[in-house]
Amino acid sequence: MAKDTLNIGLIGYKFMGTAHSNAYRQVAPFMGPALQPVMQVLCGRDAAGVSAAAAKMGWQECATDWREVIARDDIDLIDICTPSGPSHTEIALAAAQAGKHIFCEKPLAASLDDARAMLSAVQAAGVTHMVNFNYRRCPAVALAKKMIEAGELGEIYHWRSVYLQDWIIDPDFPLVWRLDKSIAGSGPLGDLAAHSIDLAHHLVGPIAAVSGMEQTFVKERPVAEAMGGLQATGGSARVPVTVEDAVAFLARFENGVFGTFEATRFAAGRKNCNRFEINGSKGSLVWNMETMNELEFYSRADEKAAVGSLAGFRLIQATDGSHPYAGHWWPPAHIIGYEHSFTHGVYDLLNAIAAGTPAEPDFLDGAKCQAVLEAVTRSIASSGWASVEAV
Ligand code: SOE
């Protein structure tokens, strides 16, 4: 009889490691995936830290060397929650070579070359691979996708997105790994705009060319001493910041859609404002992660009502059992949160592995996002437009 469980080895135990652990805990009781995840090993470099996290989140074992986890025959899937950048590539290449399925945090890599190498490795190994662009799996976003596919917006003219945070606006906030290019690869470009790019690819289509600009407002920061989530403490010595604080770019899509993107960590008061607006010939859609269960929809058809125009943005609560994912949780308007986007991702991944079908977004989607990130960097360096390379 085929095995109905999947043994997980999760590398990284902090913010994302906790979010993924929670998803593995929740997915079977609430969603009933085709394979049941077994929380086998949690891995991190700090023995005391990983042991405490494993006990808190319910992992059976913990380890401090990811290579040992990958070498184990009883591990089926490697989940990569280490800081974005070179560590994703190193671990994914080794995991693919060992024949493990891979779930990887975003952005996929630090460079397009690395992303291409990761894609080739998983394709050669024939394993299932997925990148955690989690916002695709908020019910309101998944509903937006269905509405666009059903033609509710008609021909799409505009993609307009911002991803705004403010957690490093204090010049004394320490230089954590997200502000170190050698670890993170980039600043809000890879950390935040990558989400918007993936959503744009998913909802509107591929980006062909970009023209960007960036700014680093605070050039030096205290060395970080400790970090958890998006909080940190630092010492008195200051070191140079090596990533941008804010980035924006114009985008031409292959299908003629006209796009704008902005991502910053300096938008005072904006905590996780991941927002897009799409305008089409028949109407518009608006979504904002800060009110994640709501989808705003304007339909031009409402302008022609018998009594006169009834047009206006209507607020759809994407919490009905008829909406994607929502039926697995609570009665309508008993809302869900950020963590559910991770649980939905794990659910789809487990079902894809069970069915032997591709997961999405996969490493190809991750590499396509990386190609846009790299084009933005090239365009900034040349102060002009840059084409997005084919993957
Ligand atoms: C921090 O900027 C962060 O946690 C990102 O790393 C995530 O990808 C984003 O979803 C929320 O903000």
Q: 192: CA distance to ligand 1 center in Å?
A: 6
Q: Determine which residue's CA is closest to atom 10 belonging to ligand 1.
A: 192
**pLDDT above 90 covers what percent of the chain?**
95
Helix (H, G, I), strand (E, B) or coil at 4: coil
Specify the residue for token string 């940190």.
Answer: 232
Read off the pLDDT of residues 208-236 as tens digits, 9 standing for 90 and up. Answer: 999 999 999 999 999 988 877 788 888 88
**Peptide bond before residue 107 is cis, with ω within 30 degrees of 0:** yes
Assign domain 5-135 to its CATH superfamily: NAD(P)-binding Rossmann-like Domain (3.40.50.720)
Q: What is the atom index within ligand 1 of the atom nearest the CA of 289? A: 10
Q: 191: CA distance to ligand 1 center in Å?
A: 6
Ligand 1: list residues with CB < 6 Å: 165, 191-192, 195, 230, 272
**Helix (H) or strand (E) run with residue 89 in it:** helix 86-97
Counting Cα atoms < 13 Å in the Cβ hemisphere of 39 gives: 23
Closest by CA to 274, choosing from 138, 369, 71, is: 138
Q: What is the mean pLDDT of the chain?
A: 97
Kindly state the DSSP code that residue 81 receives in the 8-state scheme: -
Q: DSSP states of 135-156 as a string? A: GGGSHHHHHHHHHHHTTTT-SE
Report the pLDDT value the prediction gives residue 181, as an integer from 0 to 100.
93
Residue 285 main-chain phi, psi, to 5 deg: -130, 140
Report the pLDDT value the prediction gives residue 94, as an integer from 0 to 100.
98
Q: What is the atom index within ligand 1 of the atom nearest the CA of 265? A: 2
Pocket test for ligand 1, best of 104, 192, 199, 288 (most atoms within 8 A of CB): 192
Domain 139-291+293-336+370-382 fold: Dihydrodipicolinate Reductase; domain 2 (3.30.360)
pLDDT at 83 over 80: yes
Pocket test for ligand 1, best of 138, 173, 191, 198 (most atoms within 8 A of CB): 191
Q: What is the atom index within ligand 1 of the atom nearest the CA of 84? A: 6
Q: Is 179 within 8 Å of 243 (Cβ atoms)?
A: yes
Report the pLDDT value the prediction gives residue 1, as an integer from 0 to 100.
57
Q: Is 379 within 8 Å of 212 (Cβ atoms)?
A: yes
Rounded to an integer, what distance in angstroms lies between the CA atom of residue 113 and that of residue 371?
9
User: In the predicted model, what is the mean pLDDT of residues 240-254?
Assistant: 97
Residue 11 main-chain phi, psi, to 5 deg: -105, 115
pLDDT at 335 over 70: yes
Domain with CATH 3.30.360.10 in the chain: 139-291+293-336+370-382
Helix (H, G, I), strand (E, B) or coil at 213: strand
Q: What is the atom index within ligand 1 of the atom nearest the CA of 16? A: 4
Domain with CATH 3.40.50.720 in the chain: 5-135
Q: Determine which residue's CA is closest to atom 4 belonging to ligand 1.
A: 230
Q: 215: CA distance to ligand 1 center in Å?
A: 19
Tokens of 109: 């890599």
pTM: 0.97
Q: Is 139 within 8 Å of 323 (Cβ atoms)?
A: yes
Report the pLDDT value the prediction gives residue 289, as an integer from 0 to 100.
98
**CA dihedral defined by 5, 11, 17, 18, rounded to 10 degrees?**
60
Q: 356: CA distance to ligand 1 center in Å?
A: 30
Q: What is the atom index within ligand 1 of the atom nearest the CA of 134? A: 10
Q: What is the atom index within ligand 1 of the atom nearest the CA of 105? A: 8
pLDDT-derived band at 294, boundaries 50, 70, 90: very high
